[in-house]
Structure 1
């Protein structure tokens, strides 16, 4: 059963019902559920399907392709000596298929593009010279190396330019979808626990599938990450190596970003990593953004060249904070640290990232889904006139309102005291003074269980709770 993904399934099925041949590109972060979505949508029935091999030579890739053709029913299929020949054999097989609509699924396509293999030119010739000239082919290509699919296929300026008829950028689950997934597995979890789990895993279905019934969330996290053979103990290196051919430079950038919660400008990244300011760095940043590891945003009132890059991948941040630092190999590390200051500090920052991933739900709760608005962050550096100010989530609305969103994670209602009220007033006045905005500026609190009403809570114009984020 596919959880959520209704729109994506409809796109795949509409391609199968089209009167013309369709080239569909499905891409997204490793473990986000691309292959599962495609297989479930078509009931695991394809005219032909093949998966590229990781780190394999061209000769082995071609041999594997021939095996897939034989498995599909091409019994006497020879082993091709080139990709041009391989796609010629595929077209021969499809020509003889009796399927009314021939669904072809090529998974992990980027892995097939080995050096000097001429894979792209052969693939392009197959689509342009044969498949697109028919009306009965649905070619679905898929891969975790999102940057490869975007650069080599979707944004290609050669023979594949504008050839993709449908593109599906598969996103991680929302909180609501994670809740549906947990229920489908029979996991008894409160929304507070689901939120904490999201703060560790993000909305990555594969990670959620590792949770076991009968164990507490803390026990599950220990078992998945911290025991000797934990299933995600070595996920970090596998994750980046599966997506990028030279993962070290990507890891250098995310490591630098992992040290600065508010994010960094391009110049700050150059200083932190020692990398030259050239096209190679731009490529690394673009590809990390394509894959959903970082976000690029402009500060309120700032120019594009002053954009901030921020690490937002929950698993990567959890790895840097706890797994990489777990030098003692404590198999009960998470259970033992639940009430620690370190855990509390992490949960506050992780909840902010959770909120950033659910801005659509925040806007819906504010009743402004239909109002044109932009999401920003804003910061003012400390100077001789006062302390620095950081606002992680600003909603700039076309109805002449700006929402300053403050995000607080707590076990019960959040209490605003005199000091925090003063902090909010200073933050609001600093923003108004620095930006000269003429819009109304509202303080919005995003908390787990709401705000406790007291003499200081009147500063808040609107409240969003964890319940709202599950919409």
Structure 2
């Protein structure tokens, strides 16, 4: 290496000068990529790394047409506040943001197959509802263990890898992690989501600035999703906790710490599991709306998806299409094909009537059933349901 005879630089300014010398010595006309990983951990308070990097970019990189500089980091607070919202030397310098999203269901299945772990779609959905599509978590899944065994080992055994992950994640990602944790706990208590004003009131931060920064950082880093409410303005949007592991931790892991192996096989038989699974499956479907549209054959039709609710009813997924049709999606998580009984029929009919009366829409309104294994065909389903789709469609590549 040409750096072998070079003295170790005293500071980051000199280090970047060495990098400039190295780049100047490259005669290949092709693009060169400077890749800096874990950027926040280099930019400690006294290091002056950020100032040196700003100088490197503004005085050297901007004069080169053959350079691509990629920076990345897992500390969300730093990347959002110091880079994306930078008001100094890096202001408005970003040409492309690359948010590193968790795997979707298709990618999760492919990842597990690469480890020779082959699970049914139903089992992958159950696993995803607990740990999401985070590769670091999925890499801990063991071949030969059932989903229940994997969850039990990771989340409930005394030394399980994910028993305390909740606290470690927020500490590593956010500089003011207590505020983020508090907001996550508030969001975890509400099923349908919460408005911005109600969230502010319940968090009780005392500072609007802290509240806004915390919410924006949680949205930027994928913990919280903002959902439009049908027919309402953006200020009436709902905010929902969308991180599967955080929700599972607060619902099951934290209240059952220290109970050891076998805990999940016991908890998964209780009514609280049924309630959690229903809500979490709804959130999972909201993350796979494009796959749902494709299965319905409407992916080429412009549409907007949202949620809708009033004092008496709620519909988690409304697809408002440009071809004068609105799809109201009922989402059900069951371990067998779902049967629409008279009670279920009356409930869905009531939602349909209330939606039409409340919105005064002139469009056709069709009911879509999204369920794990489809629906049992009977008189109620024949009359009520326009389309029925299963979890298999959620695994389609996009």
Q: Which runs of 5+ in 1 are unaligned?
A: 1-71, 382-387
Q: Give the stretch that moved more between structures: 290-299 or 325-334.
A: 325-334
Cα root mean square deviation, aligned: 1.9
**Aligned match for 1:88, one of 17, 27, 47:** 17
Aligned to 1:444: 368
Per the alignment, residue 3 of structure 2 pairs with 74
Find the counterpart in structure 2 of residue 415 from structure 1: 339
2:107 aligns with one of 160, 177, 181: 177
Residues in 1 aligned to 2:292 and 2:37: alpha-carbon distance in whole angstroms:
36
The correspondence of residues 228-377 of structure 1 with structure 2, limited to 5 A, is 228-276=158-206, 278-377=208-307
Q: d(CA) in 1 for partners of 2:273 and 2:2?
A: 55
Alpha-carbon contact 1:147-1:290 (below 8 Å) kept: no
- Residue in structure 2 matched with residue 54 of structure 1 by the alignment: none
Q: Which residue of 1 aligns with 2:358?
A: 434
Equivalent residue in structure 1 for 2:139, among 209, 215, 221: 209
Summarize the Cα distance change of 1:154–1:277 in structure 2 as closer, same or farther, 3 Å threshold. closer
Cα pair distance change 1:249/1:73, threshold 3 Å: farther
Alpha-carbon distance between aligned partners in 2 of 1:328 and 1:165, rounded to the nearest angstrom: 48
Q: Is 2:315 the counterpart of 1:391?
A: yes
Which blocks of at least 5 consecutive residues in structure 2 are unaligned? Answer: none
Superimposed CA distance per residue, residues 188-231 of structure 1 (whole angstroms, 9 cap, x where no aligned partner): 21111011111111111111111111111111111111112111
TM-score (norm 2): 0.93
Distance 1:329 1:176 in 2: 33
- Structure 1 residue 136: Cα displacement: 3.8
Partner SS, residue 239 of structure 1: helix
Distance of 1:256 and 1:83 partners within structure 2: 42
**Which has the larger displacement, 410-419 or 369-378?**
369-378
Helix, strand or coil at the partner of 2:393: helix
How far does the alpha carbon of each residue in 1:268-296 deviate from its partner, in whole angstroms, 9 at most, with x for none? 11222212351221111111000000011
Q: Distance in 2 between matches of 1:357 and 1:412?
A: 23
SS in 2 for 1:324: helix
Name 2:395's counterpart in structure 1: 470
- Residue 344 of structure 1, CA deviation: 1.9
Deviation at 1:102? 3.7
Q: Which moved more, 1:244-253 or 1:328-337?
A: 328-337
The Cα of 1:84 is off from its aligned counterpart by 2.4
Alpha-carbon shift at residue 164 of structure 1 (Å): 2.7
CA distance in 1, matches of 2:371, 2:179: 37
Q: Does 1:456 align with 2:385?
A: no
Quick check: 263-272 or 87-96, which moved more? 87-96
TM-score, reference length from structure 1: 0.79
Q: In the superposition, relative to structure 1, how do residues 73 and 146 fare at CA in structure 2: closer, same or farther (>3 Å)?
A: farther
Aligned mates of 1:78, 1:252 — CA distance in 2: 48
For 2:2 and 2:166, how far apart are their aligned partners in 1? Answer: 39
Secondary structure in 1 matching 2:230: coil
The counterpart of 1:403, out of the listed 306, 327, 342, is: 327
Aligned residues: 394
On the 8 A contact 1:443/1:460 being kept in 2, the answer is yes
Tell me how far 1:265 sits from its aligned partner: 1.3
- Is the CA contact (8 Å cut-off) linking 2:303 and 2:319 kept in structure 1? yes
* Matching residue of 2:119: 189
Is 1:446–1:463's contact at 8 Å kept on the other side of the alignment?
A: yes
Shift of 1:77: 4.1
Per-residue deviation at 1:83? 3.0
User: 1:42-63: per-residue Cα shift (whole Å, max 9, x none)?
Assistant: xxxxxxxxxxxxxxxxxxxxxx
> 1:126: how far off?
0.4
The residue correspondences of 1:32-47 to structure 2 (distance < 5 A) are none
CA distance in 2, matches of 1:379, 1:294: 19
- Partner of 2:71, secondary structure, is strand
- 1:220 is matched with 150
Among 59, 67, 72, the alignment partner of 1:137 is: 67
Task: Give how far 1:310 is off.
Answer: 0.7
Q: Point out the more displaced range, 252-261 or 362-371.
A: 362-371
The aligned residue for residue 167 of structure 1 is 97
On the 8 A contact 1:372/1:398 being kept in 2, the answer is: yes
Q: Displacement of 1:116 after TM fit?
A: 5.2
Q: Deviations over 1:315-347 (max 9, x none)?
A: 100101111111442222112333222222221
